[in-house]
A and B are shown apart, each in its own frame.
Chain A
Amino acid sequence: MESKSPTSPPLIHIRGLRKAFGEHEVLLGFDLDLYDGENLVMVGKSGSGKSVLLKCIVRLEEIDSGTLEVLGKSIPDLDQVALDRLRTDVGFLFQGSALYDSMTVRENLQFPLRRHPDRMRGEAEEKLIVSALDSVGLAHAIDLMPSELSGGMKRRVALARTLILRPRIILYDEPTSGLDPITAKEIIELILQVQREFHTSSFIITHDMDCARVIANRMIMLVEGTNYAEGTYAELAASNDPKVRAFFK
C-alpha cells in the first residue's frame, strides 16, 4: 500500500464545503483531499454529517457552497449524463447495504451493468457477476434473495455490486456498523483485500476505532461540521486535544 503521492492531483478535492438542511447547518466549511491509492478514514460522532458528506460527493445531496471536485470534475457543474458516467467510477457502499430486496443476488449485481455495457470490458455478464461474488467469497449465494442473507453477507454482496463496475474510488459508509466484532473484522480484511486486488482508493467512514486503526493510512476527524484534525492513527492517538482524545476512549 503506497501512501499519498503529493505529485499527482487528488482524486477527491473539497474546499470550504457547506451544507445545511433548512436552519440546521451540518457542514460548515469542510476541506478534504483523497489521494490515489490511499485509505482515508473519517471518524465523527453520530449525526455529525458523515453520511451527508458522502452523499454530497456523489451528488445525492446538492451542496450549498464550496469546491467539490471528483476525478478532476466539478460535481455541481456536471449534467446528468456526465454525472452518471462519473458515478460509475465512484463506488458507494451504503450504511445499511441497500440491496434491492425484490431482486436476487444475481439481479442485484446485474443492475449496475444494464446501463453501462461499456463497463463489461468485453466479458460475459455471467462471468463478471461470478467473479465479483468470488472476490467477496459468496459465489454460492448467487440465487438467494437479500432477505435470506445475514448482515455480513449483505455487506459483502453490496461490496460485490459496487466492485462490478470497477470503480477507481470506493466510498464506504460505516462498513462495519451493526456487525458482530468477528464479522466486522472479516469485512475489514475484505476491504483491504479489495484495495490490493483492484487498486482502488478508499474513503471510509466509521466510528469503530479498531477498524480505523487497521485500515487507515490517514485519518480525518469531523467535528462540528469541519475537518477538525488530520493525521495518521498514531499521530491522532498521541494528541492532547480533548475533542480528539474523545474518540480514543
Chain B
Amino acid sequence: MSGEKEPYRGLLTFFDETGKVSLFTARFFREAFRPPFEFRELLRQSYIIGYQSLFLVATTGFIMGLVFDLQTRPTMIEFGAESYMPSMIGISFVREIGPVVTALICAGKIGSSIGAELGSMRVTEQIDAMEVSGTNPFKFLVVTRVLAAMLMVPVLVLIADAIGLFAAFLVENLKGDVTFRLFFNQVFNNLEFGDLIPSTVKSFFFGLAIGLIGCYKGYYAARGTAGVGSAANQAVVVASLLLFVIDLIAVLIADIFYEL
C-alpha cells in the first residue's frame, strides 16, 4: 500500500464493482427468462414490497402535493398565471416529482430491507443451504425480488402521482375555489401519453435499479454481522445515486423524442 497507489484505489474499486454489478444484472436477465419460474414467491414479494412502502409513499406524495402547490402559487399569481396552476402541477408531478420522490423513498425502504434480508441470509449461511438443497437461490431470492420491485415501483409512482395531485387540488380548492372537475380537467388536458409513458418506463428502471442493487449488496454481503449493516446501507446509497443517473438519462432520451 504505497501512498502513490492510494488515489487510484477508489477508482479501481469503482470499476471493479461496476463490472460485478453488470455481471449480476446479466445473470438476472438470463435467469429471469429461463424456467422454472417462482410465481408464488414473486406474488409474495410483490405484496410485501408494495404493502411495505404504500403508507410511506402515500404520505410523502400527499405532503409533496401540498408543499409544491403552496410554494409555487405566489409566484404564479405574481405572473398572473394562476389559472395555469393545475396543468403546471400535473406536468411536473407526473414527469418528475412523483417518480423521483417515490423512487427515493423506495430506495430507502425497499432497498435497505432487501439488502439487510439477503445480507443476513448470506451471513447465516441460509443462501448456502438453499444452494446445497439443489434449489437455485438466485432464482428464488434475487429474480423474484428484482421483478417485484420492477412491477411495484411504477404502481407506487402512479399512486403517489394521484395522491399528490389530489393534495394540490385541495390547496387550489381552498385558496382559489377551483372545483374538482376543473382542476382535473386541466391536469389531464395538458398531460399527454408523451408524459405518462416515459415516466412509467422510467419508474420501471428505478424499480430495476433498486431491486438489483439491494439484491447485489445483500447477496454478496461480507461475512460477519457487520456485513449485514453495510449491505443495507450501501444498497440505499448506491441505489439513490443510480436513480439520479437513470433520471438524467431518461430526460435526455425523452428530450430527443420531443425534438422529433
* Shortest distance from the beta carbon of A132 to any chain B beta carbon, whole Å: 13
Report whether A96 and B124 are in contact in the complex, using a CB–CB cutoff of 8 Å.
Answer: yes
Within 8 A of B (CB), among A106-130: 111-112, 114-116
Closest to B48 in A: A102
Interface residues on chain A, size class: 20 to 34
Q: Which of B126, B135, B136 contacts A101 (CB 8 A)?
A: B126
> How many angstroms between the C-alpha atoms of A133 and B134 in the bound complex?
21
Q: Is B16 an interface residue (CB 8 A)?
A: no
Report whether A92 and B134 are in contact in the complex, using a CB–CB cutoff of 8 Å.
Answer: no
> How many angstroms between the C-alpha atoms of A180 and B166 in the bound complex?
61
Query: A98-B126, A115-B36 are contacts. A92–B132 as well, Cβ < 8 Å?
Result: yes
Which of A30-38, A41-49, A81-89, A211-219 is the interface stretch?
Answer: A81-89
Q: Is A207 an interface residue (CB 8 A)?
A: no
With a cutoff of 8 Å between Cβ atoms, the chain B residues found around residue A58 in the complex are: 131-132
Q: Is A185 an interface residue (CB 8 A)?
A: no
Report whether B128 and A55 are in contact in the complex, using a CB–CB cutoff of 8 Å.
Answer: yes
Q: Is B125 an interface residue (CB 8 A)?
A: yes
Closest to A86 in B: B134
Report whether A115 and B134 are in contact in the complex, using a CB–CB cutoff of 8 Å.
Answer: yes
Residue interface bits B109-139, CB-to-A below 8 A is 1, else 0: 0000000010011001110111111111000
Within 8 A of A (CB), among B19-49: 36
Q: Is A26 an interface residue (CB 8 A)?
A: no
Within 8 A of A (CB), among B41-59: none
With a cutoff of 8 Å between Cβ atoms, the chain B residues found around residue A85 in the complex are: 134
Report whether A87 and B132 are in contact in the complex, using a CB–CB cutoff of 8 Å.
Answer: yes
> How many angstroms between the C-alpha atoms of A115 and B136 in the bound complex?
9
Q: Which of B117, B129, B135 contacts A98 (CB 8 A)?
A: B129
Query: A92-B129, A94-B129, A100-B129 are contacts. A112–B124 as well, Cβ < 8 Å?
Result: no
Q: Is A244 an interface residue (CB 8 A)?
A: no
Report whether A116 and B134 are in contact in the complex, using a CB–CB cutoff of 8 Å.
Answer: yes
Q: Which of B121, B125, B130, B135 contacts A95 (CB 8 A)?
A: B125
Closest to A61 in B: B128
Give chain B's interface residues, CB within 8 Å of chain A.
36, 117, 120-121, 124-126, 128-136
Chain A to chain B contacts (Cβ below 8 Å), 24 pairs:
A58-B131, A60-B128, A84-B134, A85-B134, A87-B133, A87-B134, A88-B133, A88-B134, A90-B132, A94-B128, A95-B125, A98-B128, A102-B117, A111-B130, A111-B133, A111-B135, A112-B133, A112-B134, A112-B135, A114-B135, A115-B133, A115-B136, A161-B133, A165-B133
